[in-house]
Amino acid sequence: MNMNPQFSETNPKEGVVGQPLDRIDGRAKVTGQATYSAEYNQLPNLTHAVLKTSDIAKGRVQRIDISTAAKQPGVLAIFTHENLPKLAKLPNTPEDKKALNAPMGYMPMTSDQIFYAGQPVAVVVADTLENAQYAASLIRVNSKAEVPVAAYHDPKATLYVPESVQGRLDGVTRRNDAQAAFQRAPVQLTATYSHATIHHNMMEPGATTAHWEAPDRLTIYDTTQGISETQKTVSQMLGLSVEQVRVVTKYLGGGFGSKAWVWPHTVLAALAAKAVKRPVKLVLTRPQQFTSMGYREEQQQVLRLGATQSGKLTSLIHEKTSTTSPWDDYAETNSRIIGMLYELPAYESTYRMARANVMTPTSTRAPGDMPGSFAIECSMDDLAAHLNIDPIQVRLINYAEKDSSTGHPWSSKSLKECYTRGAELFGWSKRNPKAGETRQGRMLVGMGMATASYPVHNSQGNARVRLYADGRAVVQSGATDLGTGTYTIITQVAADSLGLPAEKVRFELGDSTLPSTAWSGGSTAAGRVSSSVYLAAQDIWQKLIKIAVADRKSPLYQANPTDVVMEKGRLQLKADPGKGESFGELMKRASLGDIEGSALGRYGSSYEAPQTTANADPKEKEHASGHSMHAFGAHFCEVHVDPELGTVRVSRWVSVMAAGRILNPKTARSQVMGGSIFGIGAALMEQTKQDPNLARYTNASLADYHIPVNADIPNMVVDFIEEHDPYVNAMGVKGIGEISIVGVTAAVANAVFHATGKRLRSLPMTPSKVLEALREPV
């Protein structure tokens, strides 16, 4: 195998990588200098687009009257299904969907059909936002409504087992005979878990500013996690070449998976801008956000667990039932984590879904692993309670020394260390082994924990580094920073890789004119971009070493290139560090003002790694190195449950993560806190409610959709187990964005069980559900 040198083998011990550097984009953000996709207001003759959406969830538009609206001042154009310019390609068939990488399902306004409430039926373009909004309010839509299907549990819904889930997983997977193993198991536990619909609700809504700079040249400032992917999808849909579309995303106000794909509003903005021959800005309203960019689907899981009397798993049988849209077999792939988290001889997993009149669900922070961990980690807690074994101990009894789902060894795994460190930081030893027996005043107090894990997905991407003789560098990669710290961590890596102070490095991202790289999704960006930047710097050193050993005036003249190393910006002999020179001296003598390096960074440090989609599933796309690659961690939670009010308060929190090299402990800590808070929200309050008859969301605003606020969250303790993983990528980075939410809902539910002796398996655990559980006889 052609292994790259790892960062740690070629770099100085001291440097900025691993230091808690402040965000370098922090100042621009707090002073308003950072330009988000809806803030390109200096574009000449900028216009504003507003969506008019459908009130009904199923039916047809019979008549749409735009006559009054069109006469309003400032109105430039109104588009409906009757006059929307034709698109070159639509994502309306499974094949086209795949080619377009667009899970939007159906492109609105390409027919009179209505598939979901909130589906755009008209786009109004006007000179001001207010004029566009007012005109949109005057559009009269006469529709023929049909009775919609609301969700999988709607009596009108038809359940089916899909052939595949998102074209990635089989509808049914089997490993040995899990049914027989379950029947034989001395301990049999069966439980049903349910999750409400959850929306990403990032602060920055979806927004697109579309600007045709020439009749065949489009620039879109778009809220996307994937610059290259958006460029590809939009160009194909508009019938342009990839080069004719430029995508710019300098800053994002959160994504969490909602901005991982191209959604209809982006295409509508581009079409409208072309038609009115002026730049168009389209920003989704908060209610529109609930029906425009996907969400985490409502779902139910049944998990049957077979084990020995000593607590060893013998079988797991998992069934998931969920809601999907009229066109897509979309379900989060919960089965992945359930089948790999512990040593497991027999496993079976089945997906059932129902088509309902809703927008397509989509990737939402740790898709699949987040809800999957709720089922497996609550069931493991049940097993521990059933057998009177400590919850950590039951996990150690089932500790997987290799990946049961593939049989492969781990590239690295420090989960035991996470348990130990977490237990220590949390004070787990003080936990009363009996549930429902710890009180503080009238509060019931409980302690729970859960395991976290997230895969290191395959992905690849390019970076370019230009080093100047005067000691500056410009680093480029067409990635996006979701707001999580990409600007900062890549600057750190570039600085150390080039032997420069961080202030001398400028990192440019967020533009499709930069070297193309895969999306910032699936927790891949930190590992991929850092590795490609590091390898691009190596490319520069190789070029400079070549020049040095051929230069009579260089102290390294005629040295063997493999004997020369770079140390803090100096080229020197490995065996005789005194012999060498700075890159500046060498470049000056060679009359080189600057020098460029580039590299393709790939997950799996093998260059033979297969080219796969960014979100490839380990089951079907094995890493070439033959290792299973995952980050692991553990969450610990203490709750106070009020037995009279049914409220649950998280009073203490500890997360310990082992995710390879931590590039910046400050931004990493923020990621883990953010993921944990997101998970606490899902555990205790987040739910998108739907009217079962109309299939419309009833709380589509931040006033009615509850997310945790500061008062809901205690001081959080976050720690890391540093790992040196030689396989994942050249930087040894596994990614931390998604693992941080995995296991969180289970840790909270396990703490509630420990506090009350009652198991709540329906999320969110609202006060009414808690009171109901407390009333049940033991």
DSSP symbols for 755-775: HHS----BSS--HHHHHHHHH
Residue nearest to ligand MOS according to CB distances in the complex: 257
Between 337 and 751, CB nearer to ligand MOS: 337
Given 205, 257, 264, 681, the residue binding ligand MOS (CB under 6 A): 257
101 binds ligand MOS (CB under 6 A): no
How many amino acids of this chain bind ligand MOS (CB under 6 A)? 11
Rounded to the nearest angstrom, the gap between the alpha carbon of residue 408 and the centroid of all alpha carbons in its chain is 25
Among 365, 395, 528, 602, the residue binding ligand MOS under the rule CB under 6 A is 365
Cβ atoms of 549 and 556 closer than 8 Å: yes
Q: Which is nearer to ligand MOS, 398 or 477 (CB)?
A: 477
Q: Which is nearer to ligand MOS, 229 or 329 (CB)?
A: 229
Query: Which range, of 267-275, 359-367, 427-435, 463-471, touches ligand MOS by CB under 6 A?
Result: 359-367
**Cα–Cα separations (whole angstroms), residue 224 to 81, 201, 252, 510:** 26, 15, 8, 9
Q: Which has the closest alpha carbon to 50: 76, 87, 20?
A: 76
Distance, CA of 433 to CA of 654 (rounded, Å): 19
Please provide residue 75's backbone torsions phi and psi, each rounded to the nearest 5 degrees.
-75, 130
The residue from 253, 422, 522, 618 that contacts ligand MOS (CB under 6 A) is: 522
Residue 294 or 306: which CB sits closer to ligand MOS? 294
Residue 208: its H or E element: strand 207-214
Q: How far is the CB of 156 from ligand MOS (least distance, A)?
A: 30
**What is the DSSP secondary structure assignment for residue 737, as one 8-state letter?**
T
DSSP 106: S
Give min distance, CB of 365 to ligand MOS, in A: 5
Phi, psi of 161 (to 5 degrees): -100, 115
Q: Which of 225, 360, 405, 687 touches ligand MOS by CB under 6 A?
A: 225
Confirm or reject binding of residue 255 to ligand MOS (CB under 6 A): yes
CB of 522 to ligand MOS, least distance (A): 4
Euclidean distance between CA atoms 413 and 660, whole angstroms: 9
In angstroms, give the least distance from the CB of 525 to ligand MOS: 9
Q: Does 521 bind ligand MOS (CB under 6 A)?
A: yes
Q: What letter does residue 32 receive in the DSSP assignment?
A: T
* Residues that are catalytic: 738
Q: How far is the CB of 356 from ligand MOS (least distance, A)?
A: 22
Residue among 8, 29, 482 nearest 259 (CA): 482
755 and 635 Cβ atoms separated by less than 8 Å: no
CB of 66 or CB of 260, closer to ligand MOS? 260
**Among 103, 294, 339, 367, which residue interacts with ligand MOS (rule: CB under 6 A)?**
367
Smallest distance, Å, CB 364 to ligand MOS? 6
Q: Is the peptide bond before 433 cis (omega within 30 degrees of 0)?
A: no
Q: Which of 236, 363, 612, 756 binds ligand MOS (CB under 6 A)?
A: 363
According to the binding rule CB under 6 A, does residue 47 interact with ligand MOS?
no
Among 260, 385, 473, 634, contact with ligand MOS (rule: CB under 6 A): 260
Toward ligand MOS, which CB reaches closer, 297 or 319?
Answer: 297
Residue 498 near residue 569 (C-beta atoms within 8 A): yes
Q: What is the C-alpha to C-alpha distance for residues 311 and 380, in angstroms, rounded to an integer?
A: 9
Count the neighbouring beta carbons within 10 Å of the beta carbon of residue 156. Answer: 10
Least distance to ligand MOS from the beta carbon of 541, Å? 33
- Which segment (245-253, 254-262, 302-310, 330-338) binds ligand MOS by CB under 6 A? 254-262
DSSP conformational letter for 3:
B
**Closer CB to ligand MOS, residue 367 or residue 580?**
367
Instruction: Report, in Å, the least distance between residue 263 CB and ligand MOS.
Output: 14
Supply 55's token pair. Answer: 């009130």
* Nearer Cβ to ligand MOS (181/207): 207
Contact between 480 and ligand MOS per CB under 6 A: no
Strands (E) in 426-512, as ranges, are 439-440, 443-455, 460-468, 473-476, 505-508
Whole-Å CA distances, 618 to 293, 343, 458, 629: 26, 17, 9, 9
| 59 DSSP β-pair partners | 114, 145
Tokens representing residue 463 in the block: 């970076």
Q: Which spans of this chain sit near ligand MOS (rule: CB under 6 A)?
A: 225, 255-257, 260, 363-365, 367, 521-522
